[in-house]
């Protein structure tokens, strides 16, 4: 009887951006990586350098593509952009400071962070809609690589990754995913099995290695 080849996805949130620093809502809108964000991306890449990856996929937002390129560095890992891996669409809240939202849209932010599957920002998308497109993209990745197995990098966003994990585990608790933290999900028999959530150890390990080599 043939042994099943294990397929494992490593989900990496992008590095710190200017909007993260300013505490602006950043979904479909974009802002560049900060110097710290670039270092985080390089660090997580270094921390993952002893793992062999057969492919990488990324949201087509520039902050994620830049994170992926810094993390992959000179490794020969093909990178495939996919718009379905983008962050949640925050509608009219896009690019607004979190502190100014209550004056403009009342309890919109509180409702959004309730994590109800039908919750959404005004004119934005719901968690259910976000999961539908994310799951579609991930299912295709799993199907395309299931026979060969191996490790795959998925560069995406905090809410997108967190919502995917909540939905596949039927959890009611959202784990905050720090910049360049890693969540690991394997797919025995095609079914998701969460192994790590928002793990910063790869980034921290890589940071120490970069310091030692500088």
Is 173 within a domain? Answer: yes
Residue 1 has pLDDT above 80, yes or no: no
Tally of domains in the chain: 1
pLDDT, one tens digit per residue, over 178-200 is 999 999 999 998 889 999 999 99
pLDDT, one tens digit per residue, over 34-88 is 999 999 999 999 999 999 999 999 999 999 999 999 999 999 999 999 999 999 9
pLDDT, one tens digit per residue, over 96-151 is 999 999 999 999 999 998 889 999 999 999 999 999 999 999 999 999 999 999 99
Is 1 within a domain? Answer: no
What percent of the chain is modeled with pLDDT above 90? 90
pLDDT band at residue 175 under the 50/70/90 scheme: confident
Is 82 within a domain? Answer: yes
Q: Which domain holds residue 156?
A: 7-213
Is 131 within a domain? Answer: yes
Is 140 within a domain? Answer: yes
Domain at 116, CATH number: 3.40.50.1240
pTM for the model = 0.96
Residue 95 has pLDDT above 50, yes or no: yes
Is 2 within a domain? Answer: no
Residue 2 has pLDDT above 70, yes or no: no
pLDDT band at residue 4 under the 50/70/90 scheme: low
Is 128 within a domain? Answer: yes
Residue 214 has pLDDT above 70, yes or no: yes
In three-state form (DSSP H/G/I as H, E/B as E, the rest C), the secondary structure along the chain is CCCCCCEEEEEEECCCEHHHHHCECCCCCCCCECHHHHHHHHHHHHHCCCCCCCEEEECCCHHHHHHHHHHHCCCCCCEEECHHHCCCCCHHHCCCEHHHHHHHHCCHHHHHCCCCCCCCCCCCCCHHHHHHHHHHHHHHHHHHHCCCCEEEEEEECHHHHHHHHHHHHCCCCCCCCCCCCEEEEECHHHCCEEEEEEECHHHHHHHHHHHHHC
């Amino acid at each position: 009887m043939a042994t099943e080849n294990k397929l494992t996805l490593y989900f990496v949130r992008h590095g710190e951006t200017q909007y993260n620093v300013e505490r602006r809502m950043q979904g479909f809108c974009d802002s560049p990586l900060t110097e710290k964000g670039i270092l985080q991306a390089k660090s997580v890449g270094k921390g993952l350098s002893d793992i062999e990856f057969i492919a990488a996929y990324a949201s087509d937002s520039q902050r994620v593509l830049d994170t992926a390129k810094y993390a992959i560095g000179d490794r020969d890992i093909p990178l495939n952009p996919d718009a379905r891996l983008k962050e949640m669409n925050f509608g009219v809240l896009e690019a607004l400071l979190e502190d100014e939202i209550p004056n403009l849209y009342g309890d919109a932010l509180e409702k959004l962070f309730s994590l109800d599957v039908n919750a959404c920002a005004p004119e934005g998308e719901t968690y259910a809609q976000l999961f539908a497109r994310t799951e579609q993209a991930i299912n295709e990745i799993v199907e395309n690589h299931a026979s060969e197995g191996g490790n795959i990098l998925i560069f995406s966003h905090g809410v997108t990754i967190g919502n995917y994990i909540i939905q596949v585990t039927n959890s009611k608790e959202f784990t905050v995913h720090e910049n360049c933290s890693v969540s690991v999900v394997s797919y025995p028999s095609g079914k998701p099995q969460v192994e790590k959530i928002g793990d910063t150890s790869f980034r921290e390990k890589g940071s120490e290695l970069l310091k030692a080599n500088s």
